[in-house]
Structure 1
Amino acid sequence: MYKVLSNVSKYIVYNGLRKTSPVLHEASITTLNLNQQPIPKQPIPDLKQTTERYLRSLKPLLTDDEYKNTERIVSEFLITGAGPRLHAKLLERYQNTDNWMKEWWLEVAYLGYRLPVIVHSSPGTVGPPITFHRPDDMYVYAARLITAVCNYNEMIKSGKIKQEMAHNDPLDMQPYGMILGTHRRPNKVIDKLLHTDEAKHIIIISNNNFFKLCVVNKDGILSEGKLVAAVKDIADRSNTQGKPIGILTGNDRDTWAKDYSLLLELGNNRNIIKDIESSLFILCLDKDLPKDAFNEKNNASVRAVQSMTGCSSYVNAGNRWHDKTVQYIISADGFIGMEYEHSPCEGIPVAVLHDYVLKYIAARENSAMDRMSVDFPRPELLKFETNDAIDCAIEIATDTVDKLSDNIDMECFTFDKFGADAIKAIKLSPDSFIQIAMQVTFYNLQKKAPAHYESATLRRFINARTECIRSTSIESVEFAKIMLSGKCKSKQQKKEMMIRAINTHKEYAAQAATGQSVDRHLFGLKMIAKSEGTELPELYKDVGYTRSTYFNLTSSQVPYKSASFMCYGPVVPDGYGCCYNPRPKDILFACSSFKSCNETNTRDFACVLQQTLYDMRDIGSE
């Protein structure tokens, strides 16, 4: 029996499926309970407090006349308008749900998002370069990666993962149970998120060919020797390139949903897709990138695109299935990376998995490989059937993916002048320091303040996701202006202004992390208004709201213990994305913008950011 619960409509669909297949559930339904300590519900802030903080965040983004008008609109919303009534209904929802935002956010931010998941939504992860001296080395690495992920999965399923804490507050561990065995199924208007806790097989894609490999049997995880033999067998059987069926998953979601329905009707495709959906994760064995891919970009920047899209249809863009939450990627030219579909969780649990895998492999780096087994479960080739309509759909998807891959402009680098330790040594917050540096950089290039989004985790609360830290403040803009004005200000004056900007950011970040910021509360009120079918309050049509939510600088800290980093594209056509991993002695950055925008330039952003970091440390050390 095959069970699928839609996260929106809550109905059950039954289809014939081999009895050995795992049962797939709605993603919020898992048999696991990973929280040893109880986690409180996500609060709803005081309405007056939210409006005050909202207005404060708008000051650096609006003209005086715009601000005065927005102030009037907010006052009317709070006192005589829809605000109190919507807030009261939101409080009712708080009482009747374990998390008032969970379903709305999953639907609006992810499953209802219709652009391609690649670049726009699904982040890539780039690991440190590796060296394979002979072909078998890659097979051994792949086998150890599979073992590491399976060991990690067993640790999660057994509930042995340690409860994380933020100071004295326990953090929700449920997202760790949602990474492996999860899949996003395309569907018209709103996709479905599926999850199983019972996956025993993985999917390996090689040269666009799909294989099913059972990695766990009654005796446990397959031995390293058997896994090496199975991976080598897949590589040997993939000399002929398969049709790039996987590239269909990189198209916009409505087109992919339509093509998915066509695909299901042919041959054994329905069962193949069920095998993909119910797998633990996907492993992509990529082809080497052509040498000219590195003509204009460093290795990290090129690998970032490989992790997000596969680079191009001529290389590895067909060697993907972007709906799977975890896709590990290995290529013989020394790349280890991952792409993750963002719907079920944020980046930090994914980073923890990735670090675990790299640590496991590194610990065995000098150990001899288990003898390659001749007695191994032969991987099953999953051969899709196609027709003219699917072939046409592949051509259209190929065009979409190639254009997007070519348009995303990455500049990824290791800032090695100093790291978090040096920032702490001058008694400043590393995260706030980096955030203010980004704003000075943006102001330097654009001569205006950014609507700057930084992601804050809400894992202090059960089934919560993120809040927006509105990083731009009056203080940060004042500091940016002074840094660029050329007017003679003493280092001490600059230091005082820098510290004010950093402390304001720390204050905003603390509010966000405790569920007391602006954006999710306003989002909840907006969703209540939409559910009533009435016209949205004027607040949501006002320039204050539209400008402050047009995030032309999007950023997040994703800390890895390894020399790895996460990367993603901007969220608006004329914006920048910037993900960073501050380590004790260095900081890894992944900066992005779109080549199609004449107003942005990723290389300029990366260069100015590095100089700004250096200048700020110089000021702070005074």
Structure 2
Amino acid sequence: MYMDVPLPLPINSNPGMVFPPRKFTTVHDVARFAARIIDGILEHKELLDSGNLPQERAASREKNQPLCMAQYYRLLGSCRRPGLERDSQFLPDVRNRDESHHIIICCRNQMYCVVVQANQIGKLSEDEIFSQLLYILSDAPCLPSAPPMIGLLTAEPRRIWAKDRQVLLQDEQNCRNIELIEKSLINLCLDETLPLAFNARGFVGAASSTHFAGHRDETNMAHEMIHGGGSECNTANRWFDKTMQIIICNDGTWGLCYEHSTSEGIAVVSLLEKILNKIDEIPSLEENGITQQHLPPPERLEWIVRPEISKRIQEAKRDVDRRIEDLDFYVYRYQTYGKNFIKSCRVSPDVYIQLALQLAYYKLYGHLVSTYESASTRRFLLGRVDCIRSASIEALEWAKAMCQGEGANVALESDKEDEEDSRKVSFSIYNREQLTELFRTAATRQTEIMVQNILGNGIDIPLLGLREASREIDGELHELFTDESYKIANCFLLSTSQVACTTNSFMGYGPVTPRGYGCSYNPHPEEIIFCVSAFYSADNTSASRYAKSLQESLDIMRDLLAK
């Protein structure tokens, strides 16, 4: 699913996640928080190496089944590698637990290697990591010349980046740098704050409904995590191939950009929320300015930049900025109700929200489209996800009934003889009880599809296997996979997923097709957070318009189902 896709990783593949902002008043606060994050990562690595990671089990639908934990072991020390024909993965050798470990720190487009654990020195303490980070934060702004923006190349289309990588690898120094980056446990990016006005199409004012005191709005924060804000901001302060890039901004905004091929969101969210909860239990320290200086300073990576690479970096600047400018992104908090009300209606919150997404689309366009919702298949060895197809016939019939007389939906006419008057008159053939019954039928069907998928009876993963087998065995695709209906069914104009968090966090991503929408959601007891995305270059989509339609849909669903 991932390795053959040639599109750039930021926006098209890598999700971005925003965690609750911190309060930083000095550079020491930034370094201390980052040090605690790294310390938490090292503790988690020890847990993985010991084999004592707790076994997770299914909480519903044949409860207590063990869930595959392989994704958790692929988060640290892994990386995606571009290829001329297809990408590949670098995964750590979990059997080798004695090797040294390091982390790459990105700051002002410079990259530093911090050895955090080695046989000679053991594991660095939090204070020692803090000292290394303070050095980087003071060193990077004072360097006499601007660094080459090598990180921008990782934001290019995969086959182009593969060619650039081959050129870089012609120099031994670059080989070592790339090896250090790919084998690092994580990347930690210390970012500058995006301008307050940065939003969907460059610098065009605010869009998100929620602001944090003294902070930018949430849409602005999401842009930071998904792509970094462009070549003039933080996009070069990244290595988008890296599985985990933790991003900490000097204004307290922080979050994550992660490469999706190794893991679903659940493993990443679980790890960082566990670390965050532990940090919040630690009392704040009053920094006295005295830091431990007995360690050598971290190594700053120096690059050999050939003329062709220098030219490519300039081209990458233009390409990246153009793609970022095209991203229409909107973080929307629906605060009228949340999952407490939905549960009172005797409906699964996920099923309810999926039907709201269908209704919102129908209200805008008068029809439904192929919809993707991820369904975990971790009950099976190495299971990832299958596809819950939410655009069912039952959902369509309910949406049509809910929209009778609206927009693109054809108004029902009376039997009056006067044709002109009859066009002006419409009436409802569905009363509240009938609409409720149609909703219950759609919800039942959505639940059935969901259960089929999580229990291994979905259709998309078997079809994917057959498609790849036919390509491998016959050298060409079976006619089923070239049929127009298969292409339509797999062009997901609405790509969705629930990213449930215990913290006030949210994750977003771009659409998977140029004319489509992306929509992740995080239901809380009294609100639902949506991250809606589209592209400005598609003249028939709008993230804010879809969010408004979602609001209207959720409102009328409440009116329909409230007791």
Task: Calculate the TM-score normalised by the size of structure 1.
Answer: 0.80
The secondary structure found in structure 2 opposite 1:485 is coil
Alignment pair present for 1:296 and 2:296:
no
* Superposition deviation, residue 365 in structure 1: 5.1
The secondary structure found in structure 1 opposite 2:398 is helix
2:336 maps to which residue?
417
Structure 1: runs of 5 or more not aligned: 1-108
* Superposition deviation, residue 536 in structure 1: 3.6
Alignment pair present for 1:605 and 2:549:
no
Distance 1:199 1:175 in 2: 22
Alignment pair present for 1:561 and 2:466:
no
**Is residue 227–residue 376 contact of structure 1 (8 Å, CA) maintained in 2?**
no
Distance 1:286 1:621 in 2: 46
The secondary structure found in structure 2 opposite 1:334 is coil
Distance 1:562 1:547 in 2: 37
**Is residue 460–residue 514 contact of structure 1 (8 Å, CA) maintained in 2?**
yes
Report the AA paired with residue 80 of structure 2.
R
* Superposition deviation, residue 490 in structure 1: 2.4
For 2:360, which of 410, 427, 441 is the aligned residue?
A: 441
Report the AA paired with residue 148 of structure 1.
G
The secondary structure found in structure 1 opposite 2:317 is helix
Matches within 5 A, 1:43-58: none
Percent identical pairs in the alignment equals: 36
Offset from partner CA, 1:137-178 (integer Å, 9 cap, x none): 111111111111111222222222211111121100111000
The secondary structure found in structure 2 opposite 1:216 is strand
* Deviation >3 Å, runs of 4+: 217-221, 365-371, 534-538
Alignment pair present for 1:283 and 2:219:
no
For 1:320, which of 238, 241, 246 is the aligned residue?
A: 238
Distance 1:569 1:292 in 2: 20
Report the AA paired with residue 90 of structure 2.
L
1:186 maps to which residue?
82
Distance 1:418 1:325 in 2: 35
Distance 1:568 1:377 in 2: 39
For 1:505, which of 446, 449, 469 is the aligned residue?
A: 446
Report the AA paired with residue 216 of structure 1.
Q
For 1:355, which of 256, 268, 273 is the aligned residue?
A: 273
Matches within 5 A, 1:226-241: 226-239=128-141, 240=143, 241=146
- With over 3 angstroms needed to count, the CA separation of the structure-2 counterparts of 1:388 and 1:506, relative to structure 1, is same
* Superposition deviation, residue 431 in structure 1: 0.3
Offset from partner CA, 1:338-394 (integer Å, 9 cap, x none): 111111111110111121122122222535459632323411111111021110111
Report the AA paired with residue 256 of structure 1.
W
**Is residue 199–residue 278 contact of structure 1 (8 Å, CA) maintained in 2?**
no
Distance 1:538 1:278 in 2: 42
Offset from partner CA, 1:495-516 (integer Å, 9 cap, x none): 1111111111110000011111
For 1:202, which of 94, 103, 128 is the aligned residue?
A: 103
Distance 1:556 1:365 in 2: 36
Q: Which moved more, 1:528-537 or 1:177-186?
A: 528-537
Offset from partner CA, 1:92-127 (integer Å, 9 cap, x none): xxxxxxxxxxxxxxxxx1112111111111111111
Structure 2: runs of 5 or more not aligned: 200-204, 209-216, 406-426
1:126 maps to which residue?
18
Offset from partner CA, 1:9-67 (integer Å, 9 cap, x none): xxxxxxxxxxxxxxxxxxxxxxxxxxxxxxxxxxxxxxxxxxxxxxxxxxxxxxxxxxx
**Is residue 28–residue 287 contact of structure 2 (8 Å, CA) maintained in 1?**
no
- With over 3 angstroms needed to count, the CA separation of the structure-2 counterparts of 1:597 and 1:357, relative to structure 1, is same
* Superposition deviation, residue 546 in structure 1: 1.5
The secondary structure found in structure 2 opposite 1:214 is strand
* Superposition deviation, residue 611 in structure 1: 2.3
Offset from partner CA, 1:63-86 (integer Å, 9 cap, x none): xxxxxxxxxxxxxxxxxxxxxxxx
**Is residue 196–residue 220 contact of structure 2 (8 Å, CA) maintained in 1?**
no
**Is residue 457–residue 465 contact of structure 1 (8 Å, CA) maintained in 2?**
yes
For 1:341, which of 259, 278, 282 is the aligned residue?
A: 259
- With over 3 angstroms needed to count, the CA separation of the structure-2 counterparts of 1:536 and 1:222, relative to structure 1, is closer
Distance 1:531 1:186 in 2: 21
1:470 maps to which residue?
389
* Superposition deviation, residue 266 in structure 1: 2.5
Report the AA paired with residue 249 of structure 1.
T
Report the AA paired with residue 149 of structure 1.
I
Distance 2:359 2:180 in 1: 49
**Is residue 286–residue 330 contact of structure 1 (8 Å, CA) maintained in 2?**
yes
The secondary structure found in structure 2 opposite 1:319 is coil
Report the AA paired with residue 380 of structure 1.
E
- With over 3 angstroms needed to count, the CA separation of the structure-2 counterparts of 1:335 and 1:583, relative to structure 1, is same
* Superposition deviation, residue 413 in structure 1: 2.4
Offset from partner CA, 1:240-278 (integer Å, 9 cap, x none): 442211000000011101000111113511111111111
**Is residue 301–residue 412 contact of structure 1 (8 Å, CA) maintained in 2?**
yes
- With over 3 angstroms needed to count, the CA separation of the structure-2 counterparts of 1:372 and 1:587, relative to structure 1, is farther
Distance 2:170 2:246 in 1: 29
**Is residue 199–residue 280 contact of structure 1 (8 Å, CA) maintained in 2?**
no
For 2:517, which of 576, 579, 582 is the aligned residue?
A: 576
The secondary structure found in structure 1 opposite 2:331 is strand
Alignment pair present for 1:225 and 2:127:
yes
For 2:527, which of 576, 586, 592 is the aligned residue?
A: 586
Report the AA paired with residue 131 of structure 2.
A
**Is residue 214–residue 377 contact of structure 1 (8 Å, CA) maintained in 2?**
no
Distance 1:199 1:399 in 2: 38
Report the AA paired with residue 270 of structure 1.
C
Distance 2:304 2:398 in 1: 60
Distance 1:152 1:137 in 2: 23
Distance 1:607 1:149 in 2: 39
1:23 maps to which residue?
none
Report the AA paired with residue 349 of structure 1.
A
* Superposition deviation, residue 615 in structure 1: 1.9
For 1:524, which of 453, 461, 465 is the aligned residue?
A: 465
* Superposition deviation, residue 604 in structure 1: 0.5
Distance 2:52 2:526 in 1: 31
For 1:266, which of 153, 171, 182 is the aligned residue?
A: 171
Report the AA paired with residue 194 of structure 1.
F
Task: Calculate the TM-score normalised by the size of structure 2.
Answer: 0.88
* Superposition deviation, residue 216 in structure 1: 1.8
- With over 3 angstroms needed to count, the CA separation of the structure-2 counterparts of 1:217 and 1:525, relative to structure 1, is closer
**Is residue 326–residue 340 contact of structure 1 (8 Å, CA) maintained in 2?**
yes
**Is residue 14–residue 259 contact of structure 2 (8 Å, CA) maintained in 1?**
yes
2:424 maps to which residue?
none
* Superposition deviation, residue 534 in structure 1: 5.8
Distance 2:147 2:475 in 1: 51
**Is residue 370–residue 489 contact of structure 2 (8 Å, CA) maintained in 1?**
yes
- With over 3 angstroms needed to count, the CA separation of the structure-2 counterparts of 1:242 and 1:170, relative to structure 1, is same
Offset from partner CA, 1:444-497 (integer Å, 9 cap, x none): 112211111101111000012211111111110111111111453322222111
Report the AA paired with residue 234 of structure 1.
I
